[in-house]
Chain A
Amino acid sequence: MNTRIATAAVLSSALALAACQKKAPEELPPPPEDVTATTPTTTTPAGPTVGSMEHFLAAVGQMNTVVYFDTDRYNIDAEDSAKLQRQAQYFSQYPSVTFTIEGHTDERGTREYNLALGERRANAAKNYLVSVGIPASRIRTVSYGKERPVALGSNESAWAQNRRAATVTIN
């Protein structure tokens, strides 16, 4: 596992350290200036509300909100950890934001096992975020198993898109 490197990477950023301050996170809504300063992808001047899904997507980029898994696997590979680090930066920057990680599977598994597998995937992503400093109390996991596919075909490409853990903000 490369969690140690990842931990160091995130901890080294001033953003993560902000979460170490003694004040309760709810009292620290980051000023809007920070948004534009640290998230260059945000271009809309008015901008969506901090913590909204729109804001989260704009800040980390759509592709970084979903990690993908191999068949029957739940390990976080290098590509996944890069995405999760990008998410961690966001959640460190906005410590009042709570979020859900949805675990999903492809359709080529039995229904009950897939519910458990989706939960395991959501937890793998959650554990990674916790390991780089995001409090577990801010992260909810839910498994949908194979019940909510995004790609509708019955082929390898569709299945690969459906084996995923998607991060969704709650605020």
Chain B
Amino acid sequence: MKCLALIPLALFAAPLAAQNQDLGEPMQEGQAVETIAEESGLTGSVSFEGNLDDLGIAIPAFATDRDVATPANANGTAALGVELARVITSNLRNNGLFKPTGPDSLPTPAFANITSPNWATWSTRGAEMLVHGYVRARSDNRLTVGCYLYDMALQDRLVAEGWVVAPADWRRAAHKCADLVYARLTGESPFFDSRIAYIAETGPKDNRTKRLAIMDSDGANHRFITTGRSTALTPRYSPDYRQLVYLSYVDGNPRIYVYDIGTGRQTLVTQSDNPTFAPRWSPDGRYILYSMAVGGNTDIYRVSANGGRSERLTDAPGIDIGGSFSPDGSKIVFESDRSGSQQIYVMDADGSNQRRLSFFGGRSATPEWSPRGDQIAFTHIAGDFNVAVMNPSGRGFRKLTRGWQDEAPTWAPNGRIIQFFRTERNSGRTSLWQVDLTGENERKLPTPVDASDPAWGPILP
């Protein structure tokens, strides 16, 4: 036998240049949004005490002091004011929590009334809440957008805030306003002003094209990162939105790359000929978790986001994969088949104290720790594949979805909405879905083509 151990051949090492072959042109991302104080901050308490699903919110067009040209809208700032109110309306409506009424069925308030509403105009419309806002073109070409939330019963302002945005970022001002309204009325943290990375899928089931793509949380500003020549899978945004980690077959093998959005360049997460899977960021962006198969045995590794030596965190025979940090970075929840089937385990961030969390019957996979820390979302497999949650001690199991194959949950930045993808039986078609923690509000996220592996970034700076 020994004589057969011939000289190893370096047959399979792909040239480094191949790494960038699948990438489109880089594009500068938007800038930070400056928050300005409106005349007053928080005032009275909310008078409404019913179910938030039934809370009527009137969102008329945002007023403008002077209808002038702006790069944000071909028809000027008045038309932009209507668009802003439409975006806010659809944000809130799609969230399924309120009953918003948008600018298309409401009168437009005068600029002077934004800070002092004409209550008589709105009291007959059955809305408990009123959103007013304005948009003003600045001399430096940027836009100031103000957002005011009023309680109709109290005839009082609940909250107000304003932002200065570049014309190209006008939708972000609308998302910030929707976030302000949502946060004030629910007591939850905001999430609309955020972005989503996912995999866009086209083509027949046995020859799917899978491209890395990004978009705003409402599907706007959609853009493809890879061309589709190679299969791309499982992206994750870095906490600062500057990078994406994802799996690509660009050199013929499944490997994790760190893609820099500003420069359009990418590097391997680790210099190794072994396949790497399942990348995740640490909450502070300093580390990347990935899984690597050596001789068919997959383990979880941690590497600095700046590169360098990888640290192996698991060494069980079998498949240890995934891994998601707790928000404080002290623990990692992951998936392992060491017991004979996929189950969820937790360990300290250095790999110590590994113990099983999931005892729910069936298999449990793809755990993701909520950014709030109070829940872990995962794929529960018992016949069908469904998104479920448990608390970090492995109790409080709740199944949230009822699809044939729902998998790969990830969290909205506020830890109150979960995103996942659903695969149709037989056709293999995929789509993105969102569900809240009650499991009652489920909706399909519109995407230009089929879609999988959604991953939410944090609230934008």
Contacts and interface: CB of A to CB of B under 8 A. Distances in A.
Contacts of B247: 115
Interface in A132-154: 133-138, 140-145, 147-150, 152-154
Contacts, number: 125
Interface stretch (A29-37, A45-53, A62-70, A116-124): A116-124
B206 A110 contact: no
Nearest to A140: B12
B4 A112 contact: no
A113 B296 contact: no
Contacts of A121: 296
How many residues of B sit at the interface, in one of the four size bands?
35 or more
Interface stretch (B125-133, B163-171, B421-429): B421-429
A19 interface: yes
A123 B366 contact: no
B342 A20 contact: no
Contact of A135 (B4, B210, B423): B4
A154 B365 CA distance: 21
Contact of B275 (A11, A98, A119, A149): A119
B408 to A, nearest CB: 6
Contact of A110 (B205, B342, B425): B342
A137 to B, nearest CB: 4
Contact of A107 (B11, B233, B335, B428): B428
A144 to B, nearest CB: 8
Contacts of B204: 152
Contact of B407 (A111, A138, A140): A111
Contacts of B335: 112-113
Contact of B254 (A98, A138, A142, A152): A142
Given A112-B291, A135-B6, A140-B11, A122 B321 contact: no
B428 A137 contact: no
Nearest to A119: B293
Interface in A16-74: 19-20, 24-25, 72, 74
B453 interface: yes
Contacts of B11: 98, 137-138, 140, 170
Q: DSSP majority for the A interface? A: mixed
Nearest to B365: A110
A18 B176 CA distance: 73
A113 B321 contact: yes
A120 B6 contact: no
Given A110-B385, A111-B233, A143 B342 contact: no
A137 B365 contact: no
B77 interface: no
A144 B231 CA distance: 10
Given A115-B277, A142-B275, A143-B293, A120 B298 contact: yes
B366 A110 contact: yes
Interface of A: 7, 11, 19-20, 24-25, 72, 74, 98, 107-108, 110-113, 115-117, 119-124, 127, 133-138, 140-145, 147-150, 152-154, 170
11 contacts: A111-B453, A112-B291, A115-B254, A119-B296, A120-B297, A123-B293, A135-B5, A142-B254, A148-B206, A150-B206, A154-B425
Given A19-B3, A112-B277, A117-B319, 10 more contacts: A72-B337, A107-B428, A115-B254, A119-B275, A121-B296, A123-B296, A124-B296, A143-B293, A144-B254, A145-B254
